[in-house]
Amino acid sequence: MTNHLGDIQNSKAIIIFGANPAVNHPVGFKHILKAKERNNAILIVIDPRFTKTAAKADLYANIRQGTDIPFMYGMLHLIFKHGWHDPEFIKNRVFGMDHVIEEAKKWTPEKVEDVTGVSADLLYKITKAYATNKPGTLLWAMGLTQHTIGSSNTRMAPILQLALGNMGKFGGGCNILRGHDNVQGATDMCCLSHTLPGYYGLSEGSWKYFAHNWGVDFNWLQNRFADKKWMHTKGFSLAKWWQGVLQEEKIYSSSPIRALWIQGNGITSIAQQVKVQQALDKLDLIVIAEPFVNEAAVLTNKKDNVYILPTASQFECEGSVTATNRSAQWRSKVVDPLYESKTDEEILFLFAKQFGFYDELVRGMMMGVKDGKAVKVKNSFKWPEDATREIARIIKTIGLTGWTPERLKKHQQNWHMFDEVTLKGIGPMKGEYYGLPWPCWTETHPGSPVLYNIDIPVNEGGMGFRARFGVEYKGENLLAGDRATIKNAKVKGGYPELTKDNIEKVLGIKLSSKEKEIMGKNWKVDLSGLIAKYALKAGIAPYGNAKARAYVWTFPDKIPLHREPLHTPRFDLAKKYPTYSDKKNHYRVDTKYISIQQKDYSKEFPIMLVTGRLVMYSGAGVIERNSKYLVQLSPEMYADINPELAYKYNIKDGDMIWIHSPEGAKIKVKARFTYSVAPDRIFLPFHFAGVMQGKDLSENYPEGLVPYAIGESANTVTNYGYDIVTQIPETKAGLVRIEKA
Amino acid sequence: MYEYARMKFYCDENRCIECNACTIACAEAHELPVGINRRKVITLNEGIEGKEFSTSIACMHCTDAPCSQVCPVECFYIREDGIVLHDKDKCIGCGYCLYACPFGAPQFPKDGAFGIRGKMDKCTLCAGGPLPTNSIEEFELYGQNRIAEGKVPMCAAVCSTNALIVGDADSVAEIIRARNAAKGKGTSSPYGWDIAYK
């Protein structure tokens, strides 16, 4: 989120694409309801299903899946046509908007109606309501990201906000709702395969920075890899790791995957469950370290070499977590780990000891900074405080320097002294924002509740857009214009990111020779903290002040372009808006695009598939399906189906039906009549597991551990398709065929 | 003149999002058997634009409670603060109260050979029953007695949007009145009552 949940109360208009906060963020949704109540905010919901969120909306558009880009271009078409955009903001703070304006001209309301299924009238109503009520905030979640064009979707939404001048404003911004506790923290620490923690890349420079901070030899680190080239190569992704085992598509790796370690991930939350099952069967070893039985152990037919390590829950351990709005929160232990379970860190320490790298793993927690260098300062460490200190010391990119355990604990102890709308502290917490939302540049910085806000000084959380991509592109200036000067800054307008070489020139200061000696090469690796110190003194953020890029020259699509889903009900439009060429070596696996889309599936599989969450379950439902009270509310897997569609297939409410996917997978579920889905689509909740293509897998659970509810997984029938940049699976667009069981 | 408090529930259907937190918290707090729903969330017109809404319903602790009037063994008693309770030792499970109740609040366990009804169970507004306050016996038959401990009933305490409000009728009315008065007046950050119930 660029802003935070409480800040939504400042909005005058709220537009939600592909998110259902009333179900997925019930407590956060209160702020949206309060914006409506107190601020007369207009709530607009764009979703392929009439959700609980839509039930509270003032305007609702029932969009065809995977057509968010045409919808937003349609909005931009009207915005530019009626002059509802913010020319001053665009001129000073946006790069390449002219390309977007050109593309938007093509998307007339009539054309948008044909592609998205939303009437031209409604598009106008929604656009006018959203563009003329400012500030407006834009929310999204998986409905926008889980597409082959997910990465373009997530660029399109900010472009819409930039055109309206809604970025960096209280009550504005792009508010992306994270789905679970500490997902933001997991992302920041990169529990992924394509960067180092804190979004540091995989280059040698980044690795060396980390090696220095961990107190380990770079060559030692390098020798842990089969070959040094793998050190700089993205790994397999969660979405397609199974091809690393099965190798049905070509893989690029030093070895096929032979072992799988699962710690905190519901295996049925990813697409292609049939393939996942085959891959699990073929692995040499599966280890699961979780509080409940992960369905990986159940899905597989393996009888040997599957280990389940009982792991502590969040109530049995301590440490910091990061909320959806970039705020940190300290969490205390409620009880010691029950029975024989161990905490996550203890399991990993034991693992490291067994494999002979325990000392290297924990050394970073015993280090501190002296004269701009990380050095060992003590001989033991205290978990989790020293882990938090290690994070604060290393991660400069997103500004975690100020997140010391002492400050985070103080915030936890003084919850009641923060205001929910502004996050501002009162009393002893005055001058700080709750949870020190990052970037929190120094140990005295208050945190930044609203990103890219130039209307407040940097030492109160203000900043421009990051100057991440140089100062110019093909002769055009990438830095912010003069009118985009950060409040109280000594530097007027835009400026580049600070480095040792340019800091004297940008700030007009003179460094002493000692300072020059201990200063890091640039603000991202400056352990001395001098760059941040001098930047804040001059009232600017260390990372520069540039224009936001609407035009990205390094992406497959320079500006977001509409491309039909791989399995589209409108094959005629797939010819007009085709997907990408097949991509080689995409996270180590060849990935298909056009070779799938060129076939017309819409005749044989005429029904669109929508998946999503239920309020009583989360993720794969591994935890919640073990609660008898939660299960009582939704005891079995089902498909939401419109009576009109059902009667075509002679299906009655409560009948069992088969759902078939184009990949040949099928699931057997109960039909539930509802008008919340249109007659051309069905909805499946994705929290169930334990039944596979009609076969009950109860006997695969350890004795006495079958959850109260098991059922078919929706992801058995979600279709093939992966984002062109991130490889997230296309679970939010796809086709199926249904029949009465 | 001093007025005795009358405890009431109120559910703001503009705010209720059918998250069921009230239902679950109630069942967990009182360790109810599965199938006994002291509190339920009802959604009407699901999926129909402009007509779908939800509300949370339990025993409404009526001033002139119909259940109490029809009970043949007079197991009901109404406390001075208006909370309607009953004595499970007197209840014969006849079900008359269920027919009389306009909200479907009385719940009956339905096991045994012929599906016969057991003793009636319903929302106590977290005020326990006639057995000694906060005793194990009271907990086993009626659940927690949070009122005796000065706590808000579980359902309202966990309501994610503060749709469900409970308390002395005058206080409930005051909160709703303040909420309505604040409509359209813009965002503010006041303190006091508003922090807890806004």
Residues of A in contact with B160 (CB under 8 A): 26-27, 29-30
Tell me the backbone φ, ψ of residue A149, rounded to 5 degrees: -105, 25
Residue pair B169/B62 in contact (Cβ under 8 Å)? The answer is no
Distance CA B103, CA A411 (A): 44
Q: Do A22 and B46 touch (CB under 8 A)?
A: no
> Could you tell me the two tokens for A66?
């995977």
Looking up tokens 């709703």 gives B176
Give whole-number Cα distances, A267 to A248, A300, A695, in Å.
Answer: 20, 11, 18
Looking up tokens 């099952």 gives A277
C-alpha angle with apex A379: A376 to A382, nearest 5 degrees?
105
> Could you tell me the two tokens for A380?
């033991």
Torsion of CA A456, A460, A462, A463, to 10 degrees: 140
Rounded to the nearest angstrom, the minimum Cα separation between B10 and chain A is 17
> Could you tell me the two tokens for A169?
């404003």
Quote the pLDDT of residue A266. Answer: 86
> Could you tell me the two tokens for A201?
């890349």
Distance CA A440, CA A675 (A): 47
Residue A430 pLDDT > 50, yes or no?
Answer: yes
Distance CA A570, CA A574 (A): 7
DSSP A54: G
Distance CA A156, CA A73 (A): 8
Quote the pLDDT of residue A593. Answer: 97
Distance CA A56, CA A41 (A): 12
Residue B56 bridge partners (DSSP): B41
What is the interface size between A and B, counted as CB pairs within 8 Å?
Answer: 90
Residues of A in contact with B49 (CB under 8 A): 50, 54, 60
Residues of A in contact with B198 (CB under 8 A): 34
**Nearest beta carbon to residue B34 from set A22, A419, A632:** A632
Distance CA A316, CA B45 (A): 43
DSSP A724: T
Quote the pLDDT of residue A265. Answer: 86
- Over range A363-391, report the average pLDDT: 96
pLDDT in tens, A595-652: 999 999 999 999 999 999 999 998 899 999 999 999 999 999 999 999 999 999 999 9
> Could you tell me the two tokens for A186?
């997991």
With residue A648 as reference, give the H or E element that holds it: helix A643-648
Residues of B in contact with A420 (CB under 8 A): 189
Q: In this predicted complex, what is the ipTM?
A: 0.91
* Per-residue confidence in pLDDT tens, chain B, 198 aa: 456 678 999 999 999 999 999 999 999 999 999 889 999 999 999 999 999 999 999 999 998 899 999 999 999 999 999 999 999 999 999 999 999 999 999 999 876 666 667 899 999 999 999 999 999 999 999 999 999 999 999 999 999 999 999 999 998 999 999 888 888 888 765 444 455 555
Distance CA A619, CA A24 (A): 10
Contacts of A105 (CB under 8 A, 6+ apart): A77, A80
Count of positions (residues) in chain A: 741
Alpha helices by DSSP H, listed for A117-246, are: 120-132, 142-145, 150-163, 183-188, 204-214, 218-223, 228-231, 243-246
> Could you tell me the two tokens for B190?
């006041």
Q: Do A9 and B187 touch (CB under 8 A)?
A: yes
Tell me the backbone φ, ψ of residue A729, rounded to 5 degrees: -70, 150
Q: Where are the beta strands (DSSP E) in A394-530?
A: 472-473, 476-477
Residue in chain A closest to B43 (alpha carbons) equals: A52
Residue A3 pLDDT > 60, yes or no?
Answer: yes
Residue pair A559/A104 in contact (Cβ under 8 Å)? The answer is no
Look up the CATH architecture of domain A183-402.
3-Layer(aba) Sandwich (3.40)
- Over range A128-135, report the average pLDDT: 97
Distance CA B97, CA A173 (A): 54
A479: three-class secondary structure by DSSP: strand
Quote the pLDDT of residue B7. Answer: 92
Quote the pLDDT of residue B3. Answer: 64
Contacts of A177 (CB under 8 A, 6+ apart): A1, A19, A21, A24, A25, A28, A139, A140, A141, A324
Quote the pLDDT of residue B116. Answer: 67
Distance CA A490, CA A704 (A): 67
- Over range A553-570, report the average pLDDT: 96
Please compute Rg for chain A using Cα positions.
26
For A127, other C-beta atoms within 10 Å of its C-beta total 25
SS3 track for B108-171: CCCCCCCCCCCCCECCCCCECCCCCCCCHHHHHHHCCECCCCCCCCHHHHHCCCCCEEEEEHHH
Give A68's pLDDT tier (boundaries 50, 70, 90): very high
Tell me the backbone φ, ψ of residue A228, rounded to 5 degrees: -65, -20
Domain boundaries defined on chain A: 6-176, 183-402, 607-740
Residue pair A459/A539 in contact (Cβ under 8 Å)? The answer is yes
Residue pair A33/A22 in contact (Cβ under 8 Å)? The answer is no
Looking up tokens 């797939």 gives A574
Distance CA A279, CA A238 (A): 13
Residues of A in contact with B24 (CB under 8 A): 616, 629-630, 633
Residues of B in contact with A50 (CB under 8 A): 47-49, 52
> Could you tell me the two tokens for B168?
């002395």
Averaged confidence pLDDT in chain A: 95
Distance CA A83, CA A89 (A): 13
Q: Do A616 and B24 touch (CB under 8 A)?
A: yes
Instruction: Count the helices and strands in chain A (H runs, E runs).
Output: 27, 27
Q: Do B187 and A675 touch (CB under 8 A)?
A: no
Distance CA A193, CA A521 (A): 26
Quote the pLDDT of residue A153. Answer: 97
Distance CA A53, CA A40 (A): 17
Residues of B in contact with A674 (CB under 8 A): 46-47
With residue A410 as reference, give the H or E element that holds it: helix A405-413
Residue pair A593/A563 in contact (Cβ under 8 Å)? The answer is no
**Nearest beta carbon to residue B18 from set A40, A52, A629:** A52
Residue A311 pLDDT > 50, yes or no?
Answer: yes
Q: Do A26 and B161 touch (CB under 8 A)?
A: yes
Rounded to the nearest angstrom, the minimum Cα separation between A593 and chain B is 35
With residue A657 as reference, give the H or E element that holds it: strand A656-660
Quote the pLDDT of residue B109. Answer: 83
Q: Do A420 and B20 touch (CB under 8 A)?
A: no
Residue in chain B closest to A50 (alpha carbons) equals: B47
> If you classify domain A6-176 with CATH, what class do you get?
alpha beta
Rounded to the nearest angstrom, the minimum Cα separation between A413 and chain B is 18
Would residue A439 be called left, alpha or beta, if left means φ above 0 and alpha means ψ between -120 and 50 degrees?
beta
Contacts of A433 (CB under 8 A, 6+ apart): A327, A418, A422, A423, A424, A425, A446, A447, A448, A449, A461
Interface test with A, best of B15, B17, B31 (most A CBs within 10 A): B17
A463: three-class secondary structure by DSSP: coil
Give A269's pLDDT tier (boundaries 50, 70, 90): confident
Give A261's pLDDT tier (boundaries 50, 70, 90): very high
> If you classify domain A607-740 with CATH, what class do you get?
mainly beta
- Over range A220-235, report the average pLDDT: 95
> Could you tell me the two tokens for A57?
């909306």
Numbered residues of chain B with Cβ closer than 8 Å to any chain A Cβ? 14-15, 17-21, 23-24, 27-28, 34-35, 46-49, 52-54, 160-162, 179, 182-189, 198
Tell me the backbone φ, ψ of residue A507, rounded to 5 degrees: -95, -10
Residue pair A329/A408 in contact (Cβ under 8 Å)? The answer is yes
> Could you tell me the two tokens for A415?
């919850």
Give A587's pLDDT tier (boundaries 50, 70, 90): very high
**Nearest beta carbon to residue B184 from set A40, A50, A616:** A40
Distance CA A715, CA A267 (A): 10
Look up the CATH architecture of domain B7-197.
2-Layer Sandwich (3.30)
Residue pair A611/A51 in contact (Cβ under 8 Å)? The answer is no
- DSSP letters for A520-586: -SBTTS-TT-HHHHHHHHTT--TT-BB-EESS-TTSSSSS------SS-S-HHHHHHS--PPPEEEE
Rounded to the nearest angstrom, the minimum Cα separation between A158 and chain B is 25
Residue A323 pLDDT > 50, yes or no?
Answer: yes
Distance CA A256, CA A385 (A): 38
Q: Do B47 and A37 touch (CB under 8 A)?
A: no
- Over range A376-384, report the average pLDDT: 95
Q: Report the percent of chain A where pLDDT is more than 70.
A: 100
Lowest mean pLDDT among A59-73, A218-232, A405-419, B183-197: B183-197
For chain A, the first-to-last Cα distance in angstroms comes to 44
Q: Do B47 and A675 touch (CB under 8 A)?
A: yes
Distance CA B86, CA A531 (A): 71
Interface test with A, best of B187, B189, B191 (most A CBs within 10 A): B187
Distance CA A713, CA A299 (A): 11
| Residue type at B115 in one-letter notation | G
Residue pair A390/A543 in contact (Cβ under 8 Å)? The answer is no
